[in-house]
Structure 1
Amino acid sequence: MSFSTLGLSKPLVEAVAEQHYTKPYPIQEDAIPAILQAKDVLGIARTGSGKTASFVLPILELFHRAKTVKIKRVNVLVLVPTRELAIQVADVFQTFGKALPNPVKTVAIYGGVAVNPQMIAVHGAEIVVATPGRLLDLVSSNALRLSDVEILVLDEADKMLELGFADEMNRVFDLVPAKRQTILFSATLGDAIADINQSLLRNPVTIQIDDEEQDIDLIKQTAYRVDAERKGPLLRYIIKTGKMKQVLVFVSSVRTADNVVTKLSKNGIQAAAIHSKKTQGARSDALSRFKARELTVLVATDLMSRGIDIQFLPYVINFELPRSPKDYIHRIGRTGRAEASGEAISLITPDEEHHFRVIQKKMKKRVEMINSEDIDLAGY
């Protein structure tokens, strides 16, 4: 199947080709036609499964059709859990939207920055990508109305609930029209998501891409057995000897992220951290530099990584393991995208070995374990 068979117009098909998308992901094959048919959609798929384009492309197609025949414009609200994801989703809308003959105004609004510029920016916006709290701030200031929303998208709905946005989400639901199209995407289908499905969606097309269906075979996985005090030097050894130019390193805490960046920088490796304690400007700058390959290493916590979407990222390194096997799969899935190969490396201390065996059992894949005792880390 190709994108041209999904109901997209020529400008968008050409824009997809320019972004090096060769064929639709499974979720795109089902979601794009359903959204174009004005159906509600419930999509369950992990981060990195292609779900952003699965709602961005059909929504832009609807704008193209509306503006071509001069009918009432579409008004779209996309709710996301983090600032980084808001910026990323808006960027995808803008990237593909450039292909359309008539411009579509997309604005990202999120907390952590001054509200006044955003109040000005949303004037005349046709697509608003927002975190719940800042969205309600703008509504209470009369800078934005939700009574004209025709399409509501909930992206990473499970993460919004995990972050405690349930009350804000319910307030938003009360403000948008009952008659609308609703599109909900989540990495998991828990009780809370099932409740939202029952209360918000009308006879939705349900699309579930199970983790077992996610192809991680293109990702070369390696693990190093290492004592805790040798983790930092081993990380630097791997990056330097491997001549790595773009590496996403995962850690479990803000403190560790900053410590890792400090040690990398002292050893001549350009690195920056992205976590909740950084200002929005610092986070945006780090992510932009990393995507442009001006920065060798980006160190991230799991929450902040939700906004990192790089199509051909070559390396992911787990400096520390995540709490769940599902999060591990999400992490390594940052590489090996778009049918490109990638490499995932994990640094495993003796205390983490049992947990790593559980992760391997869950993903039904054995990872080669290299003993690092004989590696000379002097100078690293």
Structure 2
Amino acid sequence: MSFSTLGLSKPLVEAVAEQHYTKPYPIQEDAIPAILRGKDVLGIARTGSGKTASFALPILELFHRAKPVHVKRVSVLVLVPTRELAIQVAEVFQTFAEALTHPVKTVAIYGGVSINPQMIAVHGAEIIVATPGRLLDLVSSNALRLSDVEILVLDEADKMLDLGFADEMNRVFDLLPTRRQTVLFSATLGDAIADINKNLLHDPVTIQIDDEEQDIDLIKQLAYRVDAERKGPLLRYLIKTGNMKQVLVFVSSVRTADNVVTKLNKNGIQAAAIHSKKTQGARSEALSKFKAGKLTVLVATDLMSRGIDIQFLPYVINFELPRSPKDYIHRIGRTGRAEASGEAISLIIPDDEHHFKIIQKKMGKRVEMLPSEAIDLSGY
């Protein structure tokens, strides 16, 4: 199947080819035609399965088919859980919109930065990608209104609920017209998502992509047994001796992220951290450099990894294990995305070994554990 068979016009098909998409991913094959038909959609697919393009492309196709209007209004609203994801999704819209015969303005709005530039930026916007809190701030400031929204997209709805956005989301829903098309994407189908489905979606097309096993099989997983005091030197040894580029390192806390970055930089490895205590400017700059290959290592907490979308990310390293097997799969799934191979390495201290066995059991896959005692880490 090709993108041209999904109902997309020639300009968008050509734009897709320019972004090196060779064929639609499973979520795109089902979601694009359904959205073009005006159907509500409930999509269950993990991050990295190609879902952003699965709603951005058909939405832009609808703009392409419509007659240009002189008075611009917000007709599409995309709600996301984090600033980084807002920026990333808006960039996807902006990239593909360049192919259209008439301009479509997309604006990302999110907290953590001054509201005034965003109040100016939303003027004339037709697509808004927003975190719920800042969206409500702009509505209460009369900078924008939501009464003309025709399509609502909830991206990573499960994560928004996990982060406590339920009340804010409900306030947003109350501001929207009842007659609209609603598209909901989530990595999981829990009770909360089922409630949203029941209350917001009308006769939706349900798409569930169970591709985690296939994606995991594309990832080469390794683990090193290491004492706690040798973990930092081992990380630097692996990066340097492996001549690794674009390494995403996961940690469990802000403090650890900053400590790891400091020691990496002291040892000649270009690194930056991305976490909730960093300013939005610092986070955006670090992410931009990492995506462009100008930064060797990005150290991230689990939440801040949302929005790190690199099609061919070669390495993920778990400096610390996550709390749940599901989070482990989400982490390593940052590599090996959408048919690309990758390598995931975990550094396991003695206290982690039992938890790591549980992760492997839940994952249904055994990870080779290598000893590190004989590795000479002096100088690292």
Normalising by structure 1, what TM-score? 0.97
**Match of residue 29 from structure 1:** 29
SS in 2 for 1:128: strand
Identity across matched positions, percent = 89
Cα-Cα RMSD:
1.5
Q: Deviations over 1:310-369 (max 9, x none)?
A: 111111111011111111111111111242221111111111111111111222211111
Closer, same or farther in 2 for the Cα pair 1:373/1:151, shift >3 Å?
A: same
**Match of residue 134 from structure 1:** 134
Closer, same or farther in 2 for the Cα pair 1:151/1:214, shift >3 Å?
A: farther
**Match of residue 145 from structure 2:** 145
Name segments (4+ residues, structure 1) moved above 4 Å: 68-74, 211-214
Inter-partner Cα distance in structure 1 for 2:32 and 2:44: 15
**Match of residue 360 from structure 2:** 360
Note if 1:56 corresponds to 2:73. no
Inter-partner Cα distance in structure 2 for 1:71 and 1:143: 16
Which AA in structure 2 matches 1:81? Answer: P
SS in 1 for 2:281: helix
Aligned partners of 1:77 and 1:129 also within 8 Å: yes
Note if 1:351 corresponds to 2:351. yes
Which AA in structure 2 matches 1:308? Answer: I
| TM superposition shift of 1:215 | 2.1
Q: Flag structure 1 segments of 5+ consecutive residues without an equivalent.
A: none
Q: Deviations over 1:92-136 (max 9, x none)?
A: 101111111211100000000000110000011000000000000
Which AA in structure 1 matches 2:287? Answer: L
Note if 1:379 corresponds to 2:379. yes
Note if 1:336 corresponds to 2:336. yes
Aligned partners of 1:44 and 1:186 also within 8 Å: yes
**Match of residue 289 from structure 2:** 289
| TM superposition shift of 1:188 | 0.9
Greater shift, 94-103 or 35-44, is seen at: 94-103
**Match of residue 162 from structure 1:** 162
Inter-partner Cα distance in structure 1 for 2:73 and 2:117: 24
Inter-partner Cα distance in structure 1 for 2:145 and 2:309: 30
Closer, same or farther in 2 for the Cα pair 1:73/1:145, shift >3 Å?
A: closer
**Match of residue 326 from structure 1:** 326
**Match of residue 95 from structure 1:** 95
Aligned residues: 380
| TM superposition shift of 1:20 | 1.1
Which AA in structure 1 matches 2:198? Answer: Q
Inter-partner Cα distance in structure 1 for 2:181 and 2:367: 44
| TM superposition shift of 1:68 | 6.8
Which AA in structure 1 matches 2:295? Answer: L
SS in 2 for 1:108: strand
Closer, same or farther in 2 for the Cα pair 1:213/1:11, shift >3 Å?
A: farther
Which AA in structure 2 matches 1:183? Answer: V
Which AA in structure 2 matches 1:291? Answer: K
Greater shift, 336-345 or 173-182, is seen at: 336-345
| TM superposition shift of 1:43 | 0.6
**Match of residue 258 from structure 1:** 258
**Match of residue 313 from structure 1:** 313
Inter-partner Cα distance in structure 1 for 2:109 and 2:71: 27
Inter-partner Cα distance in structure 1 for 2:379 and 2:74: 59
Which AA in structure 1 matches 2:220? Answer: K
Aligned partners of 1:21 and 1:338 also within 8 Å: no
Which AA in structure 1 matches 2:224? Answer: Y
Which AA in structure 2 matches 1:130? Answer: A
